[in-house]
Structure 1
Amino acid sequence: MDLTDFRALLIDCDDVLVDRDSGIWTAVQPLLQNSGGRFDRERVLAEYRQAVVGLAPRQAELGFGGLLCFAHRRLAERLGLSASWEEGMSFARSVAAWSLFEDAPGAMLYLRKFYRLLVYGDRDAEDREALCERLGIDAEDLLSRAGNPLEDTVWLSANHLRPQDVLQISRAPAEPLGAGGLCLIDRGATGTERNCPADFCVSSMADLVAQHQMFLRR
């Protein structure tokens, strides 16, 4: 299997293109400012992820921004801190300021020459246009995580794709969505340390570009 075998890339928005962890860490500083430095970054992020996992079944009900707001409140509870709903709403609105990974814009610019670029992630309606502009994609190519496009036969047919035409790009660890390929990004791994449980494993979007260029030269 080669990278050049695929016609489309289904790229996770957060953790692959958008640096969600840094965005969350910055946005929770008002909550932590009176904690006396008791909580380090890794613990806070781990507790936040657990809060989100617990709320995931309610995302359709809450919406993306609502989920973030409730996750902020649950994070505060898990850390033994107090937070107002206003602080939770301010935290939820911080998503618009989450930064892209440094290599993401250039990688997207390169990869769109060879693939249909689909971004897999959720945003509130007021944030979708700005995110699509930053990523250089059409609004229709920002797909909600509420569904699985590789199992949506109507969507696949309308876009002239088969599941095996699509390479999913996710942060490690992740499970494949369907019959397409899977590429895992582990930004902390090196070539000698990497244990690849997927079709392809890379250390960054820039590394994905470099590997694609290598396949083109074969």
Structure 2
Amino acid sequence: MKLTDFKALTFDVYGTLIDWESGMIEGLKGLTARVDRDLSRDEILEAHARHESSQQKYTPAKKYSELLQIVYKRLAEEWGVPFTREECVEYGESVKKWPAFPDSEGALQYLKKHYKLIVLTNTDNDSFKGSNEKLGVHFDGAYTAEDVGSYKPFDRNFDYMLEKITSLGLQKSDILHTAESMFHDHGPANKFGLANCWIYRRHDQKGFGATMNPGEMPTYDFRFNSMADLVKAHQEELRA
């Protein structure tokens, strides 16, 4: 199997192209500063993952920006910190400010010359619009949790994507699902028989950060530590 075998890349955005962990830490600074003990970065991210995943299960049709308001509230309760409704709303809106990884825009511009680029993201359309402005590329398809009415790793999101790509002249064998999260993306990719590429952004860190532990580790067809490394591998294939 080679990278050049595929016609399209289907992307997770947050954690893969957008540095959501740094965005979360920054957006929660006002809250974590009021906690009466020191919280490590991973403690914050792992607590966020627990509450986010739970809320996505119980309110799958809720917009991501609104869902994050509840996550903020649950975190404040867990840490015993008073909070305001305004703080919850502000955190929910912070997604648009989360930074892109430094290599994302350049990598996407290169890959756009060789593939159709498609997004399958656990966010809402307005939040994704803000993030997409940082990525500097026009995606051929963008399928959000708001569009689908549920969140990955639910089957429904992948069913939706696989149905919609047919209108782009693609079928399952044409796409390489490219993502960081083992929980949200690679587990379902295995289940659906999708070729998959792990962008292992947390290769130099322990644990799973802002995503839930997937349990048994999914398999993958390619692994790179960055989008820049993916581009280099593609360029090497073309030169071979």
TM-score in terms of structure 1 length: 0.88
Partner of 1:182: 196
Q: 1:189 to 1:61 in 2, by over 3 A?
A: closer
Which residue among 195, 201, 206 is the counterpart of 2:223? 201
CA contact (8 A) 2:17 2:100 kept: yes
Distance 1:197 1:153 in 2: 20
Question: Secondary structure of the equivalent of 2:165?
Answer: helix
Aligned-pair identity (%): 29
Partner of 1:214: 236
Partner of 2:166: 157
Gaps of 5+ in 1: none
Gaps of 5+ in 2: 151-155, 205-216
Matched ranges for 1:1-218 at <5 A: 1-138=1-138, 141-145=141-145, 146=150, 147-149=156-158, 154-173=163-182, 174-177=186-189, 178-189=192-203, 197-218=219-240
How far the C-alpha of 1:176 sits from its partner, in A, is 4.1
How far the C-alpha of 1:54 sits from its partner, in A, is 0.7
Does 57-66 or 68-77 show the bigger shift? Answer: 57-66
How far the C-alpha of 1:133 sits from its partner, in A, is 3.2
CA contact (8 A) 2:70 2:88 kept: yes
Distance 1:7 1:185 in 2: 19
How far the C-alpha of 1:196 sits from its partner, in A, is 9.2
CA contact (8 A) 1:10 1:167 kept: yes
Does 125-134 or 79-88 show the bigger shift? Answer: 125-134
How far the C-alpha of 1:35 sits from its partner, in A, is 2.2
Q: How many residue pairs end up in the alignment?
A: 214
Partner of 2:207: none
Instruction: Kindly provide the amino acid, as one letter, of the partner of residue 176 in structure 2.
Output: L
TM-score in terms of structure 2 length: 0.80
Q: Over aligned residue pairs, what C-alpha RMSD do you find? A: 2.3
CA contact (8 A) 1:165 1:180 kept: no
How far the C-alpha of 1:175 sits from its partner, in A, is 1.6
Distance 2:161 2:199 in 1: 25
Q: 1:116 to 1:59 in 2, by over 3 A?
A: farther
Distance 1:134 1:163 in 2: 28
